């Protein structure tokens, strides 16, 4: 079964967006993965299809109603749908490369894009939604976060990237940041490619790359390194 993504949003026109281009877009057109969008507002209430209401207890902003979102999910998803149900939320568990790889190996994902002040907590509990964050900042809505999550997953699906090994040495795959990359010309504005990369000695090149990955990780993301005993 191909990886299939179902996105629930108030702005379905934002999809596939960048996922309709380049490798992801080509794979989408070939049926390597699938994408469908569901407009939450189709299940809104009244003449104006209202989807939100004021926060209980007061405060600014609006909250997406539990009954509206539940109706949208229930109308589109069978009860036995095995896919993870992910709610894009700044308070969610951070998305990691290992999580993206795990999702990419499965049947797909259901993604709910929040808006306003968030989603009524009761529908999160009642429909088993897993909150996921792409970083410690707040966006206007979950759509951009959903695109980022899908891109992280789709590129790992067999048949999307040209070579399966292309993703094997990237940042976070081995717990380290990726080593520096170089290509032609051999010299650029007085800066040259490290000689070891031109030596043809694969063992020395591998050792250099590992050392550079460790150096960059220590400098930029020491939190990725195991604690010293």
Nearest 10 degrees: Cα torsion 127, 53, 10, 50: 110
Distance CA 201, CA 135 (A): 39
The mean pLDDT of 202-223, rounded to a whole number, is 96
Which pTM was predicted? 0.92
Distance CA 13, CA 98 (A): 29
* Whether the predicted pLDDT of 164 surpasses 70: no
In the chain, the percentage of residues whose pLDDT exceeds 90 is 92
* Whether the predicted pLDDT of 196 surpasses 60: yes
- Tokens coding 66: 């539990």
* DSSP H or E stretch at residue 53: strand 52-53
Tell me the fold of 169-224: 1.10.1270
- Confidence class for position 174, pLDDT limits 50, 70, 90: confident
The mean pLDDT of 131-160, rounded to a whole number, is 97
Taking only the tens place, the pLDDT of each residue in 89-129 is 999 999 999 999 999 999 999 999 999 999 999 999 999 99
Regarding the domain with residue range 3-154, which homologous superfamily does it belong to in the CATH classification? SPOUT methyltransferase, trefoil knot domain (3.40.1280.10)
Q: What is the pLDDT of residue 45?
A: 98
Q: For all residues of the chain together, what is the average pLDDT?
A: 95
Rounded to a whole number of angstroms, the distance between the first and last alpha carbons of the chain is 45
Taking only the tens place, the pLDDT of each residue in 40-88 is 999 999 999 999 999 999 999 999 999 999 999 999 999 999 999 999 9
Domain boundaries, the chain: 3-154, 169-224
Q: What is the pLDDT of residue 20?
A: 98
Q: What is the pLDDT of residue 1?
A: 65
In the chain, the percentage of residues whose pLDDT exceeds 70 is 97
Distance CA 81, CA 202 (A): 47
Q: What is the pLDDT of residue 166?
A: 57
């Amino acid at each position: 079964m191909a990886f299939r993504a179902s996105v629930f949003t108030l702005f379905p026109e934002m999809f596939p967006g960048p996922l309709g281009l380049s490798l992801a877009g080509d794979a989408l057109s070939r049926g390597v993965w699938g994408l469908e969008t569901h407009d939450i507002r189709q299940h809104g209430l009244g003449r104006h299809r209202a989807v939100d209401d004021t926060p209980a207890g007061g405060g600014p902003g609006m909250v997406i109603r539990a009954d509206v979102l539940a109706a949208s999910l229930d109308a589109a998803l069978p009860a036995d749908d095995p896919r993870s149900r992910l709610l894009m939320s700044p308070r969610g568990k951070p998305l990691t490369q290992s999580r993206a790889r795990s999702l990419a190996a499965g049947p797909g994902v259901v993604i709910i894009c929040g808006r306003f002040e968030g989603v009524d907590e009761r529908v999160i509990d009642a429909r088993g939604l897993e909150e996921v964050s792409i970083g410690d900042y707040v966006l206007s809505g979950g759509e951009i976060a959903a695109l980022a999550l899908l891109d992280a997953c789709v590129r790992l699906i067999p048949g999307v990237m040209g070579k399966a090994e292309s993703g094997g040495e990237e940042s976070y795959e081995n717990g380290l940041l990726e080593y520096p990359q170089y290509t032609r010309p051999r010299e650029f504005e007085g800066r040259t490619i490290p000689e070891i990369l031109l030596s043809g000695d694969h063992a020395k090149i591998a050792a250099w790359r590992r050392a550079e990955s460790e150096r960059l990780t220590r400098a930029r993301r020491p939190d990725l390194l195991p604690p010293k005993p």
